[in-house]
Amino acid sequence: MDKDTADQVTERVQALVARMLETNGVDHDDLISILFTATDDVTSMFPATAARAIGLGDVPLICARELSIEGGTPLCIRVMMHLTTDRARDELHHVYLEGARGLRDDLPS
């Protein structure tokens, strides 16, 4: 994110969640829960609120804080989806947008 505003959190969270679902072919009914984490500088709104606005209100959602680590990526929201699938882990793809693209160069995207 460029700045911490409710509009930007909403836009970025909705884009990230949509891309995760699309990239991995995940149906709404496959979702068990979603965990959102945010760095200390994201305070304008709960990321889960943005996800509820795109129809995920019946999926358990929770937000947590990232560790405040020197040199960490600022204004960063991360998402971990728990889902039901028969696919192998290596068939699922990690999704990174904007400045988060380099967080895990060791994983396929």
Give the pLDDT confidence of 61-102 residue by residue, as tens digits.
Answer: 999 999 999 988 899 999 999 999 999 998 999 898 876 655
Give the pLDDT confidence of 16-55 residue by residue, as tens digits.
Answer: 999 999 999 999 999 999 999 999 999 999 999 999 999 9
Q: Model-level pTM?
A: 0.88
> Which CATH architecture best describes the domain 6-99?
2-Layer Sandwich (3.30)
Domain ranges (residues) in the chain = 6-99
Long-range contacts of 4-10 (CB under 8 A, 24+ apart): 4/41, 4/42, 4/43, 4/44, 4/75, 5/44, 6/44, 6/45, 8/44, 9/42, 9/44, 9/45, 9/47, 9/50, 9/77, 10/45, 10/49, 10/50, 10/53
